[in-house]
Copies of this chain bind each other. A is one copy, B any other.
Amino acid sequence: MHRVSKIFHPADSMLQKTKNTFGSKNQSLLIDYGLMKPLDKGTYYYLPILQRSINKTSALIKRFMHKIDAQEITIPNLTATEFWKKSGRYDDYQSELFQLKDRNDKMLLLGPTFEEVITHMMKFGQNIGEKQMPIRLYQIGNKFRDENARYGLLRCREFLMKDLYTFDMDKESSTQTYEEVNEIYDKFFKFLGIPFKKVEADAQQMGGNLSHEYHYLTPIGEQKLQECSVCNETSVNSTETGDSECPKCKSNRVEKCSGIEVGHTFLLGDTYTKRQKAHYLKGNKPVPMQMGCYGIGVTRLIGAAIEKLSTDSHLRWPFPIAPFSVCIVPPEKRSKAFNAASHYLDEIHNQLNSIPTLHDSILVDDRIRVTVGDRFRDARRLGIPLVVIIGKKASEPENPQFELHFIQEEKECYLSFNDLIAEITKYTQEKLKED
């Protein structure tokens, strides 16, 4: 059982009022409510409640990766600078690279992305034949970028990212893979439930042929976008003045907006594989593989989702990645309901916890010396999607009723024990339904 009194969220800061001192809601709320703590510019300790959301998000991304038969691997963070010099990207990226020397004076860097390094891996002395293709490999791990960090989880110097790399036999199958990954990205972002915009992006920066960005629109987003009021297309606005036309319908009735990039896809062709000789055997002939790379910023996505959904004083999460799905508030110690209705706590907890999609995701606010009202306020601030209150009406012997609050929807109702379980089950099913 997860108990509020036992969870490390420093100094009962949930009871503090947040002041949004940082210019972004995710940074203010996560710090003020004890979910993370800054260590240095753009580096944060992730505390247990946030860690739960990170774990859920990672598990969810893995599930979607496995739907397209991508396999998990780990690539070392420490990589030779030489790779970047050989690929020609060193000069462009240099200012953002964390660089260091090892004890043998070898130049190393902390990977911000791994195109060169995974391509190096695909060079096998033994052969990769047509049967082994296509190859789809991903990792979820720390990435490092020495840049001007800001807005909490939106731009960090150390952050968690999922990076997928695909290798195909020819351009046609590589394009099919690209479409397949984009489809699964669409489904993933749709599943999270926050409206997103997919825009065509500049593929040149990675040396590729085709690229898309996935954005959440928000005023503090760094990417300048435009929306066409005629055809509804969203695209990158790269003009200084903002006077632009829609690339699709050529209308100039476009409106400027800002986006946070939460996902990115690149069709890379053989730019890397040709240079680095990452071949497969077509019959007996070595042919460079056709490559794609695909990112999702895990911690950034969480920050961006909080940014989109939260109020200035209340955290909100997409249901699938909320740290907890349900919070149960048992009666206050000095209330009449305490003796009469406290026994429902275990019953409700165990019933809900036995539902596979809710398992291990039930929080109990066991601070029975704190009023129900104060505990309810804390649960709302934390943004737990569903809150069950075992209050006065639960102690009626004839027809005990429980208060169920839908936090996101700002609705509530009184339900019998059975209806309570049924209603929570139904809500969860709807929120976790995949198309």
Contact = CB atoms under 8 A, between A and B. Distances in A.
A73 B46 contact: yes
Contact of A146 (B46, B102, B127): B102
B126 A76 contact: no
Contacts of A252: none
A55 B40 contact: no
B72 A126 contact: no
Contacts of A37: 121
Interface size class of A (residues with CB under 8 A): 35 or more
B98 A74 contact: no
A13 B127 CA distance: 9
A10 interface: yes
Interface in A7-63: 7-8, 10-13, 16, 37, 39-40, 43-48, 51-52, 54-55
Contacts of A141: 142
Given A78-B98, A95-B103, A144-B78, A72 B55 contact: yes
Contact of A11 (B117, B124, B158): B124
A117 B10 contact: no
Interface in A249-287: none
A378 to B, nearest CB: 15
A22 to B, nearest CB: 16
A73 to B, nearest CB: 6
Interface in A92-106: 95, 98-100, 102-103, 106
Interface stretch (A128-136, A183-191, A219-227, A393-401): A128-136
Contacts of A124: 10-11
B76 A48 contact: no
A127 B11 contact: yes
5 contacts: A39-B76, A39-B117, A102-B146, A102-B157, A142-B142
Interface of A: 5-8, 10-13, 16, 37, 39-40, 43-48, 51-52, 54-55, 69, 71-80, 95, 98-100, 102-103, 106, 108, 110, 117, 120-121, 124-128, 131-132, 135, 137, 141-142, 144, 146-147, 157-158
